[in-house]
Amino acid sequence: MTDKGQVFTPAKLAGLELKNRVIRAGCFEGMCQGGQVTPQLIEHHRRVAAGGAAMTTVAYCSVSNDGRAFEHELWMREEILPDLRKLTDAVHREGALASIQLGHSGFFTSRSVIGKRPLGASPKWCLFMRSYCREMTRGDIDDKVNDFVAAAVLAREAGFDAIEIHAGHGYLLSQFLSPWTNRRKDEFGGSMRNRLTFPIQVVEKTHDILGSGYPILVKMNQIDGMEKGVSIHESEFIAKAFEQAGASALIPSSGFTSKVPFLMLRGNLPIDEMSRNQSGMLDRLGLKLFGRLMVPKHEYRPLFQLEGARRIRRAVGIPVIYIGGADSLPAMEQLIDEGFEFVQVGRASIQDPDFINKMASGQLVRSPCDHCNRCVAAMDAGGVYCVSNKLGFLTEA
């Protein structure tokens, strides 16, 4: 077992030096009303940076307006660059680095938000958004590849030190990888190699434009978590393909937002709170009556994604960043000792933004977060914060 100092020693990621091994994960903030960068979002990430994270990740920025599932999701365009620079400057002043998660919601995009029919790998009904997507054409796919590349270039211009391409959790790239959502008969469907074509084009072309010195992290699934979803055996093949395409590091998670959303989190299902925080009456009623039937519960345990993450790490030669239940110093020590170069944390840093500094100083060994997941419900009520702990992030809502 390593001593606690190793968790807090510098390490490099594609030539970028991080001051320690702890990265704030992309946790959807719910703070981008109207698709804008708000002062609340800037302060949120400044506090994470001040709390000791080596790098903080701005969560879910759509590469285009037609990739948003909610009105309070960010989407990348030139007009928001000045405010994004304010965010990255604030993070840098606290001695941390900044990354941004780039993705597209695909078939669970909200028609009411984007004003048109959602895109998807194949036509499919989405109960999550009560919509039916249309199958993307070759032209659509080319457009989205270009949107990912353009968004990455703008992110670098805004001062982000790295980008995280979201190819997991049932978002658009994940929808092409998963046979549950991809039933195409052309070169983008069928075999795993074919299903990889679009996601690999995104990573390759982004890498070509940004160059090998700029970190490109790829968030992917170990497993989708439902019948006909991606298996751990397939994810090992996917991981190798992302490595060959130019990914600097991988973040192997699990779950499908529109089917098994809490597989990636584990713990309590705050159905009542989630229902109350919905803006539409049908959404509130549907969640209240059927939420526990529609959303499976998964028991929380420390390092709950470790077995699959180990398999991904053995399959590739690039860094694998661990995510999933790393909420204590002993757990982080174990991960670094096993060869995971970095660890991502989410709820622990929401419960207390100073969590990492407190571990480094010996004030804390383990996060007191009880995984009630009420912070998830708060995302739709003005912005994520810890409902249980007044030391955690507070919101004006």
List residues with catalytic annotation.
171
Query: Residues, the chain, total?
Result: 397
Residue 48 per-residue DSSP state: H
Contacts of 143 (CB under 8 A, 6+ apart): none
The answer to whether the beta carbons of residues 39 and 29 sit under 8 Å apart is no
Exposure on the CB side of residue 268, measured as CA atoms within 13 A: 15
77-113 as b/e: b if 16+ CB within 10 A: eeebbebbebbbebbeebebbbbbbbbbbbbbbbeeb
Strand partners, 267: none
Phi-psi region of 385 (alpha: psi -120 to 50; beta: other; left: phi over 0): beta
E strand or H helix that includes residue 56: strand 55-62
What does the block give as tokens for 364?
Answer: 């804390």
The answer to whether the beta carbons of residues 272 and 288 sit under 8 Å apart is yes
Q: Quickly count: other Cβ atoms within 10 Å of residue 227's Cβ.
A: 8
Work out the angle at residue 65's Cα, subtended by the Cα atoms of residues 91 and 49, and round it to the nearest 5 degrees: 10
Based on the number of CB atoms within 10 Å of its own CB, is 23 exposed (0-12), middle (13-18) or buried (19 or more)?
Answer: buried
Residue type, 366: R
The answer to whether the beta carbons of residues 228 and 260 sit under 8 Å apart is no
